[in-house]
Every structure is written in C-alpha cells, then in structure tokens.
A and B are shown apart, each in its own frame.
Chain A
C-alpha cells in the first residue's frame, strides 16, 4: 500500500495519456531526475541539521533550537542566507576553472543516484555495471576538488585540494577492492541483482560472509568522503577550510551539499552491498515498505560516520597515507583471495 512504485507508474500512465512516445520518455526521465534532485536536497538539508544536532548531543550542548521545533528549519534558513550572499571571486583566480568546479562537484554526486536501488522497483535505471559505475562516477569528485583548490590561487586551498586528491585516490583502491567480495558472492555488478541475492532473512546479508570487506569499506569510505578521522583536506586548524576557502554564496553551498550527499551515497552503497539493501531482516516484516528499510539502514550508517567524526581525533597526513597503502590495501587483497578460496571450496 505504501510502496512508492505504484505512485510512479500512475504518474507515468497519466503522462502517457497526452504525450507521444519519444517525448514521453524524455519528459519522464527529466521528471524522475527532478524527483531525485528534490529528494537529495531534502536529504542534504536534513543531514546538515542532524549532524549539528548530533554534534551538540555528543558535546552535551543543545544545538540549534530557535528556527522551528528543535531547529529543524535551521538549514533552510542557512540555505536562504547563502542564496543572498555576494559571490566573491579572487582577482588572481582562474575564473573559468573556479566557476566550473562546484558544478562538477555537485553533478557527479547527483549522477551516482541513477542506479541506486531505493526500494523494490524503485530505481531510476538498473545499469548492468551498477556498482562499477557508481564507484567511477563518485571518484570524479576528486577532479572538482583539485580544480577548486588550484583555481583559487590560494595556498591553503591548493594544499587542501592536493591533500584531498592524494587521500581520495589512495583510499579508492582498498574501497573498490573491498566491494569485490560482495560482487563475487552476487555474481553481478547490477545493484538490483546484488540486493536480490540477499533476500530472505538477515542471515543472507553479505555482511556475515564479508565481515572484513564491510569493515574495510566503511573505513575507506569515511576517508573517501573526507570525514574525521580522515579530514586532513579540510583540517580547520591548519588549512582554515581547505579547497573551498575562497568560495562563497551558492558556489560554497554546492560543495557543502555535495559533501553531505556523498556521505549518504557511500552509506547507501554499504547498506546495499552488505546489509541487504531494501530487504527486511525478517520475512514477516515485509509489510513495511522496502524504501523504509533502505533509508533506515543507510541513515544508520550515516549516524555511525557522524559518531566517528565527533569521537576521534584527526590523523596526520603521513599516518593517513601509510594507513591506506600499508594496512588497508594488503588486507583488501587478503579478503579477495580468502573469499575466492572459500567460494571455490564450498560450491
């Protein structure tokens, strides 16, 4: 009853009643893109508020309270404020690169949602290379961060941009390797097939057969989205703000939104590959709509990332790189070999 699939097909039929076939397809894809971007906006506003509330709770403060009940409208007020802020471009900056960096940053994290399985039948398009596509497209962020860091012609932003490039490409390798275990179990790169392979009870979730893969993924993903303890690209005490230091107004807002959307993306991938995606933990709970399970699991992982942020201190840059190459990478290789061996042994 509460499955959203029915609503979407009803809207599709309604549009089909007065549009021709080729036009209908284009209109429906654009409508779906609009729905996805609307969802992401609401989600990002919610996550920013949630992070502020959680950080307040962890530090025994109360956080934003004045705008709306418990400050829920705080981020909307912030967004309206940013919309009215003057757009300051440094005189010495490379104007074109400076302009396009936030656009690329936002668009790449939006594109990842084409094959995100929000629920049963609730996916924009089930690409057959699903997970590889998502990993590839989210890594594009690094180009925009480098562009922003370099184009600002500011020493702090250059340092921040270079650091985030080094960090993202270093953690990219163990991140992708840790996903391979789940791909080997599902025998497919398609997100929908991976979720369907974990149906039944929670015992079929890949986290039980890929515990090391899951831990490696969560660690690498935390670094991938530049969050504490791996947040040296934005280390406030040394770099002021990192790559986005010269940005103001809506351009800054795009980086900010992209950061929070990316955080949800990596958590949604973890929920899909290791925690059964939109499958309920028990069969008898399947009366609850599938998208509720997907959102619940993803937001739980987001909560864990936020918990990390307000609990751990930051690593040093050399420790950070050593951790990726000397610890995570050998473990990720080991995980693949052991997984391959066990699959061969038991099947």
Chain B
C-alpha cells in the first residue's frame, strides 16, 4: 500500500494540474487585448496615486506575534488531547499549569495594550 502521504502528494499534483489545465483552456477561449489604460491598477476610476507597497500599520505585526505564541502552544495541546485518558491526573495538572501560564501571558498582553487596535 502507498503511504498516507503519497495520497497528499498525488492530490497536490492533481490539484495544481487541474487549476493549470483550467487556466490553459480559458486561455484558448478568452480574448486578450491588453492596453495601458485597461491594465492600470484600479482605484475607483482615478489614476492610482503611488504604489501600494508602502509601510503598513504595525498592529497587524503585534497580532501576528501573539498568534505565533498561541499557535505553537496548540501544537503541544493536540497530542496531549489525543492521549488524555491514558495519562490520568498528572496530565490534567500539568496541562492546567501550562494553560494557566498562557492565560497569564494573554492577560499580560491585554494589560499592556497589545490587544488594542490602533
């Protein structure tokens, strides 16, 4: 039998091929008449002012940082949850402490104003 991830790999190849073939057929069917005015980036019918690649609101990066912390924690929680019943009281207490540390971290970030949208 092929391994589980052979399925993932073949599905990946099939999916990409499907989209590319669809694009190819669309290319055969559709017109292509580019012109410099049509191909300008859209800004409500006006000529776009400057590029969109500019420095951006820092709030997004703070959320991204908090997200990384909690997402890594989730990776720890999944195996714990899957084996919970066979681990007994020890696992519950351990994970209770672990989650409490994270809740404390969340409370700290909250208090410091990291969760406030600016």
| A residues in contact (CB < 8 Å) with B | 25-26, 29-30, 33-34, 36-37, 83-93, 102-103, 106-107, 110-111, 114, 124-125, 127-128, 132, 150, 152-158, 162, 165-166, 169-170, 172-173, 176-177, 180, 183-184, 187-189, 240, 245-246, 249-251, 254, 317-318, 321-322, 325-326, 329-330, 333, 336-337, 340-341, 343-344, 347
Determine the chain B residues whose CB is within 8 A of the CB of A86 once the complex forms. Answer: 30-33
Expressed in whole angstroms, the Cα–Cα distance for A93 and B53 within the complex equals 10
What would be 5 A-B contacts, judged by CB atoms less than 8 Å apart? Answer: A29-B11, A84-B31, A111-B11, A169-B67, A326-B115
Q: Which residues from 37 to 63 on chain B have a C-beta closer than 8 Å to any C-beta of chain A?
A: 38-44, 48, 51-53, 56-57, 59-60, 63
Choose one: B18, B38, B103; the contact of A330 (CB below 8 Å).
B103
- Contacts A114-B11, A154-B41 aside, 12 further interface pairs with beta carbons under 8 A come to A84-B29, A86-B33, A107-B12, A125-B7, A158-B53, A166-B64, A173-B74, A176-B74, A183-B82, A187-B83, A189-B82, A329-B106
Kindly report which residue of chain A lies nearest to residue B20, judged by CB atoms.
A103
Kindly report which residue of chain B lies nearest to residue A317, judged by CB atoms.
B117
Q: Do B85 and A187 have beta carbons less than 8 Å apart?
A: yes
Kindly report which residue of chain B lies nearest to residue A177, judged by CB atoms.
B74
Expressed in whole angstroms, the Cα–Cα distance for A220 and B33 within the complex equals 43
Determine the chain A residues whose CB is within 8 A of the CB of B78 once the complex forms. Answer: 132, 176, 180, 183, 189
Q: Do B14 and A184 have beta carbons less than 8 Å apart?
A: no
**Which secondary structure dominates chain B's binding surface?**
helix
Determine the chain A residues whose CB is within 8 A of the CB of B32 once the complex forms. Answer: 86-87
Expressed in whole angstroms, the Cα–Cα distance for A150 and B56 within the complex equals 12
Chain B, 68-108, contact with A by CB distance < 8 Å: what is the 0/1 string?
A: 00110010011001111110110010011001001100100
Q: Do A322 and B115 have beta carbons less than 8 Å apart?
A: yes
Expressed in whole angstroms, the Cα–Cα distance for A93 and B34 within the complex equals 14
Determine the chain B residues whose CB is within 8 A of the CB of A343 once the complex forms. Answer: 84-85
Tell me which of A25, A29, A157 has the highest count of chain B C-beta atoms within 10 A of its own C-beta: A29
Kindly report which residue of chain A lies nearest to residue B114, judged by CB atoms.
A325
Q: Do A172 and B67 have beta carbons less than 8 Å apart?
A: yes
Determine the chain B residues whose CB is within 8 A of the CB of A29 once the complex forms. Answer: 2, 6-7, 10-11
Question: Do A88 and B14 form a contact, CB below 8 Å, given A254-B19, A336-B77?
Answer: no
Kindly report which residue of chain B lies nearest to residue A190, judged by CB atoms.
B82
Kindly report which residue of chain B lies nearest to residue A107, judged by CB atoms.
B15
Q: Is B112 an interface residue (CB 8 A)?
A: no
Expressed in whole angstroms, the Cα–Cα distance for A188 and B78 within the complex equals 10
Q: Which 9 A-B pairs have the closest CB atoms?
A: A318-B117, A107-B15, A33-B14, A250-B26, A90-B41, A183-B81, A169-B67, A125-B7, A110-B15
Question: Do A83 and B14 form a contact, CB below 8 Å, given A172-B67, A245-B42, A340-B96?
Answer: no
Q: Do B115 and A325 have beta carbons less than 8 Å apart?
A: yes
Q: Do B10 and A173 have beta carbons less than 8 Å apart?
A: no
Determine the chain A residues whose CB is within 8 A of the CB of B4 once the complex forms. Answer: 125, 127-128
